[in-house]
């Protein structure tokens, strides 16, 4: 039972596999730079499968005049190219319609990051590949590491030149296989000098700029890292699908436990240094429990600590559960964490006899995972002033209901003249305690148990006790009654709290799905913005405004509630966010003096506008999870706007051409 896989993980895996079965499989031959042999390796692998009777065709191959590539390509049937005339030149592009008509098992498509000539169906070749995959056809393709979108800035700094053609990271994430085609820098430079990559004139220029040894070493490291990350994700999926709970130490991975206490900042920085020294990934996690209500300042401190971890390069998560140590260890094993860093405060020794700290619980449950304990400040106290989220009030109502239930059962027993019997009375009180646990908390339930025990003692145990057969029978039964009632109460309360956590997660998923469904059912910019602003205003309890770029100006096109105004200072922030494509405003490290949060609306090709969201809960920051949820929502809005804009352009084009 301990090694059983998580049913939710299995269900998600089945859904992913079912979706993958309908799509074609993508194999990417990844290289550090041109000339490592990606196209040659792709053709060689395809030739082996072609000999086994698999239907393979060439969609497009960029041989650049290399005889060995042309010789290998002659073994396959090529699809007729699509010729597009642009500015007096004729370009041969991948013919997606011919591929869909032919429908082979595998299509070979070289240079995934290529930009198609204007007039093609898609602007980028990777978009052609995505459409082919969606129709269930497998694709082999090649890619250089400098064309990966997330590495664009990094590569530009290395080679001192901007990279204009990029492929979004989700294409690599959906790849079934990423095969690294590697070549040492010395061999690559030798091939360049021998004219096996470029013509002699081009080779000389390339060696003086891009093909310098330092550049090649850095790009090679990036390619190795991308491949390793893909393999690591495959290992993680296999462990989760097979129900393997113990950690495989294929690579060190760190996890820091974050709280609202000030020592969390020291823990985060320490973990960052450890991760840098190990050259490995690290995560920061905060666990919430329904048993504790956070003050506003405490909640904001947690968010700031998680934001610090994100700025230092960590992945952050907020998880929820009844048992914090159990949830953290479960999260650690699911993510193949090898080391956990946690703080422990020095407490009086007598207190350790009654309650164990989180650090002690993690050590007790750690098994193969290493736990590093850093002592915290014992004198820390959080001021309870200025609280937006008030501390829990004493549940007088629950105690009153608990007392009323016990009193009703006692009155019923008295009205029967005491003829109910000990067993029946005990079971009646047990039923009442279960009712209290079903709607109340642990305190009122314990109160019901104690008062019920007192009533049973008064009516069935004489005072002073007489050691007859009834007393000897009733006293052990009362001890069992107390134990069973508390056990039932604990299970009922814990089950109810877990259901509440599941409902919260399900609610978030449904909200995102609801937005997606609404956006898919409306047409026109005004309707899309109206749906979006209403939805975000309700979900985040905020005033929402969307500004769209028109004629190099940001214009307010959607807002909820209506008749909001934008000051000149906020308009300046919105322009900054639009131009740089970065989040700014309240709760961020950029232009934090603003009262609202500004997020760019970025499509696949360009930035479309800016979202402004002003929380009505003043002083309360968005958690990293809420920020990611908001970013996912803005991405959906941007995608809907982009699709609507493309549809409008298509209608205008058809109208102008009479189509």
Catalogue the E-assigned strands of 450-578.
Answer: 542-550, 553-560
Is 144 inside a domain boundary? yes
Residue 122 · residue 116 · CB < 8 Å: yes
Q: Does 577 lie in the same domain as 456?
A: no
pLDDT digits (tens, 9 = 90+) for 105-126: 999 999 999 999 888 888 899 9
Q: Does 529 lie in the same domain as 413?
A: no
Among residues 241, 265, 282, the one where a domain terminates is 241
pTM above 0.85, yes or no: no
pLDDT at 511 (0 to 100): 67
What is the band of 383 on the pLDDT scale with cuts at 50, 70, 90? very low
> Which alpha helices (H) appear in 353-460, and where do they start and end?
358-365, 396-415, 422-439, 442-460
Is a pLDDT exceeding 90 seen at residue 477?
Answer: no
Is 384 inside a domain boundary? no
pLDDT digits (tens, 9 = 90+) for 277-309: 887 889 999 988 765 666 667 777 888 888 888
Q: Does 263 lie in the same domain as 335?
A: yes
Is 385 inside a domain boundary? no
Q: Does 639 lie in the same domain as 562?
A: yes
Please indicate whether residue 386 or residue 356 has the higher confidence score (pLDDT).
Answer: 356
Q: Does the bond joining 561 to the residue before it have cis omega, within 30 degrees of 0? A: yes
pLDDT at 365 (0 to 100): 85
Q: Which residues contact 506 (CB under 8 A, 6 or more apart)?
A: none
Is a pLDDT exceeding 80 seen at residue 494?
Answer: no
Q: Does 154 lie in the same domain as 33?
A: yes
Distance CA 179, CA 29 (A): 5
pLDDT at 239 (0 to 100): 63
Q: Does 406 lie in the same domain as 371?
A: no
Q: What is the number of other CB atoms lying within 10 angstroms of the CB of residue 583?
A: 20
* Residue 160 half-sphere exposure toward CB, CA atoms < 13 A: 7
Q: Which residue has 């109340």 as its token pair?
A: 440
pLDDT at 254 (0 to 100): 93
Q: Which tokens sit at 318?
A: 């907020």
pLDDT at 108 (0 to 100): 95
Is a pLDDT exceeding 80 seen at residue 233?
Answer: no
CATH of the domain at 567: 3.30.450.40
What is the band of 150 on the pLDDT scale with cuts at 50, 70, 90? confident
Distance CA 577, CA 585 (A): 9
pLDDT digits (tens, 9 = 90+) for 37-94: 899 999 999 999 999 999 999 999 988 777 888 899 999 999 999 998 887 888 889 9
Distance CA 233, CA 299 (A): 32
Is a pLDDT exceeding 90 seen at residue 593?
Answer: no
Q: Which tokens sit at 436?
A: 């209290």
Is 419 inside a domain boundary? yes
Identify the domain containing residue 197 by its residue range.
7-241
Q: Does 30 lie in the same domain as 134?
A: yes
Is 204 inside a domain boundary? yes
Among residues 241, 275, 305, the one where a domain terminates is 241
pLDDT digits (tens, 9 = 90+) for 81-95: 999 888 788 888 999
CATH of the domain at 293: 3.40.50.620
Q: What is the number of other CB atoms lying within 10 angstroms of the CB of residue 659?
A: 8
Is 386 inside a domain boundary? no
What is the band of 9 on the pLDDT scale with cuts at 50, 70, 90? low
pLDDT at 39 (0 to 100): 92
Mean pLDDT of 10-32: 71
Among residues 214, 241, 268, the one where a domain terminates is 241
pLDDT at 312 (0 to 100): 87
Distance CA 557, CA 540 (A): 20
Q: Which tokens sit at 47?
A: 């030739």
Q: Does 556 lie in the same domain as 486?
A: no
What is the band of 151 on the pLDDT scale with cuts at 50, 70, 90? confident
Residue 618 · residue 560 · CB < 8 Å: no
Is a pLDDT exceeding 80 seen at residue 227?
Answer: yes
What total of structural domains would you count in the chain? Answer: 4
Is 388 inside a domain boundary? no
Which residues does residue 134 pair with via DSSP β-bridges, in sequence order? none
Mean pLDDT of the chain: 80
pLDDT digits (tens, 9 = 90+) for 178-198: 999 988 888 887 877 776 676
Is 206 inside a domain boundary? yes
Is a pLDDT exceeding 50 seen at residue 587?
Answer: yes
- What are the φ/ψ torsions at residue 601 (nearest 5 degrees)? -95, 105
Q: Does 536 lie in the same domain as 442?
A: no
Give the whole-number percent of the chain exceeding pLDDT 90.
Answer: 15
CATH of the domain at 117: 3.40.50.300
Q: Which helix (H) or strand (E) holds 29?
A: strand 26-31
Is a pLDDT exceeding 80 seen at residue 155?
Answer: yes
Q: Does 310 lie in the same domain as 212?
A: no
Q: Which tokens sit at 198?
A: 């470029």
Comparing 134-143, 288-297, 328-337, 381-390, which segment has the lowest mean pLDDT? 381-390
Q: Does 628 lie in the same domain as 545?
A: yes
Q: Which helix (H) or strand (E) holds 253?
A: strand 253-257
Please indicate whether residue 292 or residue 329 has the higher confidence score (pLDDT).
Answer: 329
Q: Does 579 lie in the same domain as 459?
A: no
pLDDT digits (tens, 9 = 90+) for 399-423: 888 889 888 888 887 887 666 777 8
């Amino acid at each position: 039972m301990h090694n059983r896989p998580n049913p939710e993980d299995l269900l998600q895996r089945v859904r992913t596999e079912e979706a993958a079965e309908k799509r074609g499989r993508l194999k990417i031959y990844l290289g550090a730079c041109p000339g490592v042999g990606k196209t040659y390796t792709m053709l060689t692998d395809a030739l082996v499968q072609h000999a086994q009777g698999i239907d393979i065709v060439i969609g497009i191959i960029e041989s650049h005049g290399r005889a060995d590539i042309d010789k290998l390509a002659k073994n396959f049937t090529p699809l007729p190219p699509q010729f597009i005339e642009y500015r007096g030149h004729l370009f041969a592009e991948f013919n997606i319609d011919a591929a869909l008509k032919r429908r082979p098992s595998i299509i070979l498509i070289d240079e995934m990051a290529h930009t198609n000539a204007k007039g093609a169906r898609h602007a980028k070749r990777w978009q052609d590949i995505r459409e082919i995959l969606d129709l269930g056809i497998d694709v082999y393709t090649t890619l250089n590491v400098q064309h990966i979108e997330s590495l664009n800035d990094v590569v530009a700094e290395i080679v001192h030149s901007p990279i204009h053609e990029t492929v979004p990271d989700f294409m690599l994430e959906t790849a079934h296989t990423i095969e690294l085609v590697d070549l040492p820098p010395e061999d690559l430079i030798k091939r360049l000098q021998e004219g096996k990559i470029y013509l002699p004139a081009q080779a000389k220029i390339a060696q003086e700029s891009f093909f310098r040894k330092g550049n090649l070493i850095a790009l090679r490291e990036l390619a190795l890292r991308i491949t390793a990350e893909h393999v690591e994700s495959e290992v993680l999926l296999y462990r989760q699908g097979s129900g393997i709970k113990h950690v495989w130490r294929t690579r060190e991975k760190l996890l820091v436990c974050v709280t609202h206490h000030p020592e969390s900042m020291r823990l985060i920085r320490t973990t960052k240094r450890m991760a840098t020294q190990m050259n490995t990934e690290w995560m920061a996690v905060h666990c919430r429990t329904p048993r504790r209500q956070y003050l506003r300042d405490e909640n904001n401190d947690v968010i700031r600590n998680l934001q610090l971890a994100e700025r230092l390069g960590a992945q952050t998560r907020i998880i929820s559960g009844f048992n914090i140590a159990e949830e953290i260890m479960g999260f650690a094993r699911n993510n193949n964490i090898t080391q956990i860093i946690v703080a422990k405060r020095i407490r009086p020794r007598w207190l350790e006899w009654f309650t164990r700290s989180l650090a002690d619980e993690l050590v007790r449950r750690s098994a193969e995972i290493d736990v590093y304990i850093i002592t915290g400040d014992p004198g820390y106290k959080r001021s309870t002033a200025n609280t937006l989220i008030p501390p829990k009030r004493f549940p007088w109502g629950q105690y009153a209901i608990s007392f009323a239930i016990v009193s009703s059962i006692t009155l019923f027993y008295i009205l029967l003249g005491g003829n109910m019997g000990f067993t029946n009375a005990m079971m009646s009180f047990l039923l009442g305690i279960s009712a209290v646990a079903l709607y109340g908390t642990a305190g009122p339930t314990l109160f019901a148990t104690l008062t019920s025990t007192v009533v049973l003692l008064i009516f069935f145990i004489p005072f002073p006790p007489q050691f007859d057969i009834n007393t000897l029978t009733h006293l052990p039964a009362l001890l069992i009654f107390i134990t069973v009632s508390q056990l039932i109460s604990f299970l009922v309360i814990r089950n109810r709290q877990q259901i509440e956590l599941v409902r919260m997660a399900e609610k978030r998923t449904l909200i995102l799905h609801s937005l997606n469904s609404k956006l898919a059912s409306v047409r026109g910019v005004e309707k899309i913005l109206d749906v979006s602003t209403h939805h975000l205003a309700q979900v985040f309890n905020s005033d929402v405004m969307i500004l769209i770029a028109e004629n190099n100006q940001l214009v307010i096109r959607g807002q909820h509630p209506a008749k909001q105004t934008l000051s000149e200072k906020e308009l300046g922030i919105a322009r900054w966010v639009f131009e740089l494509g970065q989040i700014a405003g309240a709760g961020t490290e950029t232009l934090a003096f603003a009262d609202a949060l500004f997020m760019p609306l970025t499509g696949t090709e360009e930035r479309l506008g800016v979202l402004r969201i002003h929380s009505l809960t003043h002083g309360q920051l968005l958690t990293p999870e809420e920020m990611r949820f908001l970013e996912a929502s803005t991405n959906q809005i941007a995608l809907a706007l982009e699709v609507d804009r493309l549809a409008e352009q298509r209608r205008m084009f058809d109208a102008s051409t009479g189509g």
